C-alpha cells in the first residue's frame, strides 16, 4: 500500500499494546493514518508504540479503556474525535480468553471472555460507526475474529462463542451500513506468535507445535496487519461483508501427511 493511501484518516485500534493490534496500529500509520491506540494492560508497550508512530510523522494518542465498559467506549470515541478531529477506521483486536472445560469453568473468567471478546467488539464498532455516520463520509471496520468462530476447539467454549458472534455481527453490520458507505470486514488469523499465546503454551511447545502446521511456522502479527491494511485501503472499496483468512493453510487437512494425499 502506498504511504499516502490513508493520509488524512484517523484509525482506532483496540488491543493496540501488543500482538496483532499493535502491529495493525503500526501498519495503518505506515499507510498514512493517525492512530488512537486503545489498550487496558501493558501501558509501557502502548506508549512505545505511540512513540514509534509519532516518529513516522503521524499523530498517536493513548486510550487506556476497558472496552467491555460501554459508557467508557462512548467517551473514548468522543475524546478521539475531540483530539484528532474525526474517526474513519475502526479495528477490533482486543480479546480476553480463559480456557477451561465448560462443565467446571470459572464463570467469572467465562463471562470476562464474552464481555471483552464479544461485547467489547460490539461496543467499539457501534460507537465508531455512529461517529462515521455523523461525519457522512463513509468509513471502514475490520473485526479480528478467528477460526474459533467455526471450529469447536475444546476448553474454549466462551472464546468460540464470542468469535462466532463476531462473524455474524460483522456481516449484519455490513448489511446495515452499506447505505452509509461504511465497509465492514473480518480477518481470521491463523495461529499467531503473540504474547497472548504464552498464557497457554511455553515457547518450546509453540515451537514444536508450529512445525506440524502446513507452512511449518506460526504467523507473525505483521502478516495479519497487512490484511487489515489491505481491507481499509480505498483501492479495496468493493469489499464488504467478507472474511479473509490469513492462516498459513491451517484450515486445510494439515493433520494428513503433508503433500502425499495419504492419511
**How big is the chain by its Cα radius of gyration, in Å?**
18
Q: Determine phi and psi for 173, rounding to 5 degrees.
A: -60, -40
Q: How far apart are CA 77 and CA 130, in angstroms?
A: 10
Residues 6+ apart with CB under 8 A from 97: 113, 117, 156, 158, 159, 196, 199
Q: Whats the size of the chain, residue-wise?
A: 263
123 catalytic per annotation: no
Nearest Cα neighbor of 56 from 113, 14, 6, 125 is: 6
Q: Which of 97, 117, 146, 250 is catalytic?
A: 146
Q: Which of 163, 212, 236, 245 is catalytic?
A: 163
Does an H or E element contain 185, and which?
A: strand 182-189
Q: Which of 92, 96, 159, 250 is catalytic?
A: 159
163 catalytic per annotation: yes
Nearest Cα neighbor of 251 from 169, 148, 164 is: 148
199 catalytic per annotation: no
Nearest Cα neighbor of 93 from 193, 14, 37 is: 14
For 183, half-sphere exposure in the C-beta direction (CA atoms, 13 angstrom radius) is 19
The strands making up 182-189's β-sheet, listed across from edge to edge, are 60-64, 34-39, 10-13, 89-92, 139-144, 182-189, 243-246
Q: How far apart are CA 205 and CA 62, in angstroms?
A: 34
Q: How far apart are CA 91 and CA 11, in angstroms?
A: 8
Which residues carry out catalysis? 146, 159, 163
Amino acid at each position: 500500500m502506498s504511504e499516502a493511501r490513508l493520509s488524512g484518516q484517523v484509525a482506532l485500534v483496540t488491543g493496540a499494546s501488543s500482538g496483532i493490534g499493535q502491529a495493525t496500529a503500526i501498519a495503518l500509520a505506515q499507510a498514512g493514518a493517525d492512530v488512537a491506540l486503545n489498550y487496558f494492560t501493558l501501558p509501557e508497550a502502548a506508549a512505545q508504540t505511540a512513540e514509534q508512530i509519532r516518529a513516522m510523522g503521524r499523530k498517536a494518542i493513548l486510550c487506556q479503556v476497558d472496552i467491555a465498559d460501554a459508557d467508557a467506549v462512548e467517551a473514548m470515541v468522543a475524546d478521539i474525535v475531540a483530539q484528532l478531529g474525526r474517526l474513519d477506521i475502526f479495528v477490533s483486536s482486543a480479546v480476553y480468553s480463559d480456557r477451561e472445560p465448560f462443565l467446571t469453568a470459572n464463570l467469572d473468567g467465562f463471562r470476562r471472555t464474552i464481555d471483552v471478546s464479544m461485547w467489547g467488539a460490539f461496543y467499539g464498532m457501534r460507537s465508531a460507526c455512529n461517529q462515521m455516520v455523523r461525519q457522512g463520509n463513509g468509513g471502514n471496520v475490520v473485526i479480528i475474529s478467528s477460526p474459533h468462530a467455526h471450529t469447536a476447539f475444546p476448553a474454549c467454549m466462551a472464546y468460540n462463542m464470542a468469535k462466532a458472534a463476531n462473524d455474524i455481527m460483522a456481516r449484519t453490520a455490513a448489511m446495515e451500513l452499506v447505505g452509509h458507505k461504511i465497509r465492514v470486514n473480518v480477518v481470521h488469523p491463523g495461529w499467531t506468535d503473540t504474547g497472548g499465546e504464552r498464557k497457554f503454551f511455553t515457547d518450546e511447545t509453540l515451537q514444536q507445535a508450529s512445525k506440524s502446521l502446513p507452512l511449518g511456522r506460526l504467523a507473525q502479527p505483521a502478516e495479519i496487519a497487512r490484511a487489515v491494511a489491505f481491507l481499509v485501503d480505498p483501492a479495496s472499496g468493493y469489499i464488504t461483508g467478507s472474511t479473509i483468512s490469513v492462516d498459513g493453510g491451517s484450515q486445510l487437512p494439515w493433520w494428513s501427511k503433508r503433500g502425499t494425499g495419504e492419511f
